[in-house]
Amino acid sequence: MNHPSPDTRRAERRIALSFGVSMVSGFALLGVYLAGGQTQVEAVLLAISLGGIGAGIIVWSQRLLPNDLHVEPRHPAADPASTAVRDIVAEERAITRRSLLIRALGGAFAGLAAALAIPVLSLGPAPGRSLFQTPWRRGLRMVGLDGQPIKASDVPVGGIVTGFPEGVPGSADGQTLLIRVGPGLLRLAADRMAWAPDGYVAYSKLCTHAGCPVGLYRSVEHRLICPCHQSTFDVLDGAQPVFGPASRPLPQLPIRIEADGTIVALGDFTDTVGPGFWNMHDG
């Protein structure tokens, strides 16, 4: 069995040190993150972790792997293995004996894997079905940004107000446009006409193209226009898109008018609010 030369020993120590430093900095990075995080420190530790693995592999390939050009002379097939071949086999066995380096490399990768787990930890809790629901529930009154209930009398014919679910004024996905059109103008599906009493109809304010608030209303044409890319929705026809990049109508909020004039939801929106890609799910 060949004993490694002092030069080889030195190279092995250098490689083990590089991998060890890489492993320690990988786990240190995870520790810094769990302790609250510090971006600059995390970046330095990640650089050391990656650099340690790279340095170790470079030294390994340059100092320990055979770089000589071996030329095996042709010999009869029946001949026993030549001395040159035996030397090569012995050399390869010497490499497989370097289990310390293999373990060190495994440790370095474990540290790096711990460091790479950080983005996964930063993802936070799964959104579940929250992207497909809004705070609107049956019986909730529509309120203004000040939290006060909106009354039907607050909206003249041709008028429009922005409302929110009671208790969640300012809700991003619950923001709703309450529009009042003249009597007999709405052309909604039969089952939706009951959700738009006395010409009051409510639609999600989130554009179905990319989620901008649909803030412009042309009352003469009964069109809602999104200022971002000019998607236009026909208020009388269930907020169907008639122009622009939006391909879905604005979801309708079923409402009724109470005896005291307040607007009350009969449930959540008829469809997922906001951009269309939110709607690409299994149901």
Asked if 228 is part of the footprint of ligand FES (rule: CB under 6 A), the reply reads yes
Q: Which of 245, 266, 271, 278 binds ligand FES (CB under 6 A)?
A: 245
Kind and range of the H or E element at 93? helix 83-96
Report how far Cα 146 is from the mean position of its chain's Cα atoms: 32
Q: Which of 9, 13, 70, 229 binds ligand FES (CB under 6 A)?
A: 229
**What is the total count of residues that contact ligand FES (CB under 6 A)?**
11
Question: Shortest approach of ligand FES to residue 275 CB, angstroms?
Answer: 8
Q: Is 97 in the site for ligand FES (CB under 6 A)?
A: no
Out of 246, 253, 263, 273, the only residue in the binding site for ligand FES (CB under 6 A) is 246
226 binds ligand FES (CB under 6 A): yes
Task: Check if the beta carbon of residue 244 is closer than 8 Å to that of residue 234.
Answer: no
Helices 39-59 and 6-34 sit at what angle, rounded to 10 degrees?
160
Would you count residue 244 as binding ligand FES (CB under 6 A)? yes
Q: Is 51 in the site for ligand FES (CB under 6 A)?
A: no
Q: For residue 174, which amino acid is it?
A: G
Of the residues 209, 238, 250, 252, which one makes contact with ligand FES according to CB under 6 A:
209
Hey, what are 143's tokens? 């309120």
Distance CA 142, CA 164 (A): 5
Of 100, 33, 47, 90, the closest CA to residue 66 belongs to 90
Query: Which tokens sit at 69?
Result: 């050009």
Q: Which two tokens stand for residue 124?
A: 């936070």
* C-alpha–C-alpha distance, residues 66 and 140, integer Å: 77
- Contact between 144 and ligand FES per CB under 6 A: no
Smallest distance from ligand FES to CB 221, Å: 17
**Residue 94 contacts ligand FES per CB under 6 A:** no
Contact residues: ligand FES, CB under 6 A = 207, 209-210, 212, 226, 228-229, 231, 244-246
